[in-house]
Structure 1
Amino acid sequence: MSYAKASDLLRLADMAAARFEGISLQDVTREFGCDHRTAQRMMRSFEAVFPLVDIAEDAERRRRWHLPRSDARWLQAQGIRDSELAALEMAAKRADRDGAPDEAQRLRALKDRLLAAMAPSHARRTEADAEALLEAQGFASRPGPRVVPDLGLLGVLTEALRAPWEVRLSYRGARDDRPRERLLEPHGLLLGTRRYLVARPSQGDGRMRRFRLDRIERAAIVSRSFARDPAFDLAAFAARSFGSFHAEAEFGPVEWRFTPAAATTARQFLFHPGQEMIDEPDGALTVRFMASGHMEMAWHLYQWGDQVEVISPPELRDAVARHRRDDFPALP
């Protein structure tokens, strides 16, 4: 057996033991990027190497493999790799940067528990290697502007979302600078250039609304629980916007055409979760999706100079027409 195959079987063992229902062939194809027949061969080898594996069928008649393991020595024997430790620390740094200190704290607590389970010599070596890997990847000291979050406010909102509890806000609207008191049922946070609380009024029409965090002067938890809307999908709600700002009147089809010179770079971007990319005969790239947020689209399009043309909507095309520069030395 090659070293690579042995490593794959150990990874399968981790997956089969960590997941309550075990793993299916579909899980294997997704994890390893292989086809169905290769996944079948891998699981036959897995059964031979780990004869104690439990094999059962789920409700959809798919075979699942589950590896019972209650011995903590398995974790100690495998240890934690420098790349895995670096990935945890990078995720914590992203959470810090994106204004999610609660998640950052939990990721670092997980990292500490993993290191505590390792032998001291292994833990020290892994920490040193992970620090070098972080520095080499350029994340530990990445420059650039970012919004400084109000950690106290984020703490209140995170606690309210976890329970969930109603929250009472003192909020300044876009057209009225005088703060008004609002009683809300929070359902999520959108973290972008601007941060928004997604919530519905406790007494109202039941529609979800966005509330900019920088316009919240005070927030307090109301010791009254509520039932989350089971039909609400935060990802689908966020996808109605290009960035974090949403305007229902702007929502509609968006189409951009990148020049042949910019197509290779543009193809590497995910502009929107629902995007469609079309390769044109002349080498150009057309990107289509449905969203609102023309201002944030214009901010992004400015970085491409004259290497992108807005086909639709016409309001966005008119907004960027006078700002398409031909002297940008590089693409985003």
Structure 2
Amino acid sequence: MSYSKAIDLLRLADFAAARHRGVTLQEIEDEFQVARRTAQRMTNALEQAFPIAVEILIDPDRTKRWTLRESPLARLKMHGDEELEALDYSIERLSENGDLRQRNALAALRDRLMAALPTREARRLEADAEWMLEAYGVAARPGPSTQISKEISETISDAIRGPYLLHFSYKGTVRLVEPYGVLLGARRYLVAKSPGEQTMKHFRLDLIDSAEVIDEFFDRDPNFDLNDHAAHAFGSFQSADEYGPVLWRFTPDAAQRAAEWHFHPAQQAELQEDGSLDVRFAASGWLEMAWHLYQWGDSVEVLHPPQLAKLVKGFQRGDFNALP
């Protein structure tokens, strides 16, 4: 948008807000000395720029009037819960990555936008955004990830936001589930359960086809916490058979670097007398652990579980010239 058009858009916002009954296309034509088509483009731009504030009134003779609720201009910048979700999600990711300068700048912007909203609207948006952040609140590990179609991703998000029942095809089988969240990682998993059942199941997003939101609410289990559920896995894959205590020992040369890593939300790290570092936690997902441990070469030893130690045996190279 050019500078002059931006100025006209702001003038139109003031013009519409100043008139109790709003402005018509004819009044816009007269005020800005433009043709009908240009006036229509201006009202379209007004609706796109300020979707929360713009109201369209229709007279008995079917004449449309555009008006803006009385509000400071800064209040018109928040475009609903999806933008707040994106801000909160980005702030969370920057915090996890340790980029505090960018995180603090984005958090300050979020606070200013929320402060400009009416209290009731701000509370509603924050409640919705907090729930969606929780639903996608599991930290993704760096690295490649599978490609998920935009349509599937948006459909799942809509169902979680409802919360609505979700219908889809999975490996050739039709499923109807209550969606609770998404686990992020190299592969992404939908966490859901079948109606009437208690056990949570995982579905790989890249294997979901023909997803459809069913216009039927379900009652979420108030005791379910996605972060607690996710902590049962090292990455995004869970297995009840594999779940249990894990103990890794990093060599003295790798101890300092390993201490900088956050391998698991409930990990415990203990420096040994010889300078090595023990890292303990409880989780499942031996294969994902093995994939990660390969990067450390022979700088790490698996002390427990024996099944994981067997899985990495013979793959602990000593010729890597750098640590993760």
If the length of structure 1 is used for normalisation, what is the TM-score? 0.57
- Following TM superposition, the consecutive aligned residue runs of length 4 or more in structure 1 with deviations greater than 4 angstroms are 71-75, 87-90, 92-95
Is 1:283 aligned to 2:275, yes or no? yes
Give the C-alpha shift of residue 277 in structure 1: 0.5
The DSSP-based 3-state class of the residue aligned with 1:250 is: coil
Aligned counterpart, 1:157? 156
- How does 1:1-332 map onto structure 2 within 5 Å? 91=90, 145-172=144-171, 179-202=172-195, 204-332=196-324
Distance 2:175 2:74 in 1: 52
Superposition deviation, residue 206 in structure 1? 1.6
SS of 2:297's equivalent in the other structure is coil
- Please name the residue that 1:24 is paired with: none
Q: SS of 2:296's equivalent? A: coil
Q: Secondary structure in 2 aligned to 1:309?
A: strand
Partner of 1:100: none
Q: Which residue identity does 1:291 align to in structure 2?
A: A
- Please give the alpha-carbon distance, in whole angstroms, between the structure 1 residues aligned to 2:234 and 2:204: 16
1:171 positional shift: 0.5
**Cα pair 2:152 2:209 within 8 Å, conserved:** no
The answer to whether the 8 A contact 2:147-2:206 is kept is: no
SS of the equivalent of 1:304 reads helix
How many residues in Structure 1 have an aligned counterpart in Structure 2? 206
Instruction: Report the CA distance between 1:146 and its aligned residue.
Output: 3.7
For 2:279, the aligned partner's letter is: V
Measured against aligned partners, the alpha-carbon deviations of 1:271-316 in whole angstroms (never above 9, x if no partner) come to: 0011011110000000000000000000000000000000000000
Q: What is the deviation of 1:91?
A: 2.2
Q: How far 1:93 moved relative to its partner?
A: 12
Identity %: 49
**Paired position in structure 2 for 1:19:** none
- Equivalent-residue separation in structure 1 for 2:162 and 2:209 (angstroms): 22
Distance 1:167 1:279 in 2: 47
- TM-score, structure 2 normalization: 0.58
- Letter matched to residue 156 of structure 1: T
* Secondary structure of 1:156's aligned partner: helix
SS in 1 for 2:203: strand
Q: Distance in 1 between matches of 2:230 and 2:241?
A: 16
CA distance in 2, matches of 1:74, 1:220: 37
> Structure 1 residues 248 and 330, CA, compared in 2 at 3 Å: closer, same or farther?
same
Do the aligned partners of residues 145 and 291 (structure 1) sit closer, same or farther apart at CA in structure 2, a change above 3 Å counting?
closer
Q: Secondary structure of the residue that 2:291 maps to in structure 1? A: helix
Q: What amino acid is aligned across from residue 231 of structure 2 in structure 1? A: A
Per the TM alignment, residue 259 of structure 1 is displaced from its structure 2 partner at its CA by 0.2
Q: Residue 214 of structure 1: CA displacement?
A: 1.1
The structural deviation recorded for 1:205 is 2.8
| Aligned position for 1:38 | none
Larger Rg: 2
Rounded to whole Å, the distance in 2 between the matches of 1:148 and 1:240 is: 24
Distance (whole Å) between structure 2 residues aligned to residue 212 and residue 74 of structure 1: 41
2:289 aligns to what SS in structure 1? helix
Instruction: Return the alpha-carbon distance in structure 1 between the equivalents of residues 93 and 149 of structure 2.
Output: 16
Give distance in 2, aligned partners of 1:213 and 1:73: 41
Where does structure 2 lack aligned partners over 5 or more consecutive residues? 1-70, 76-85, 95-105, 117-141
Classify the secondary structure of the residue corresponding to 1:207.
Answer: coil
Q: For the residues of structure 2 that align with 1:216 and 1:251, how far apart are their CA atoms?
A: 26
Provide Cα deviations, 1:218-270, integer angstroms capped at 9, x if missing partner. 11011111000001010000000000000110000000000000000000011
CA contact (8 A) 2:144 2:186 kept: no
3-state SS in 2 of match to 1:323: coil
Give the RMSD, CA atoms, in angstroms: 3.3
1:144 CA drift (Å)? 6.2
Give the Cα–Cα distance (whole angstroms) in 2 for the partners of residues 151 and 219 of structure 1: 11
The amino acid across from 2:164 in the alignment is W
CA distance in structure 2 between the partners assigned to 1:250 and 1:182 by the alignment: 26
Whole-angstrom CA distance in 1 between matches of 2:181 and 2:89? 23
Do the aligned partners of residues 88 and 165 (structure 1) sit closer, same or farther apart at CA in structure 2, a change above 3 Å counting?
closer
**1:92 shift after superposition:** 8.1
Residue 191 of structure 1, CA deviation: 1.2
Q: Could you report, residue by residue, the CA deviation over 1:185-211 in whole angstroms, capped at 9, with x for unpaired residues?
A: 001111111001100101x43211111
The whole-number CA distance in structure 1 between the counterparts of 2:173 and 2:151 is: 20
The residue identity in structure 2 corresponding to 1:187 is: Y
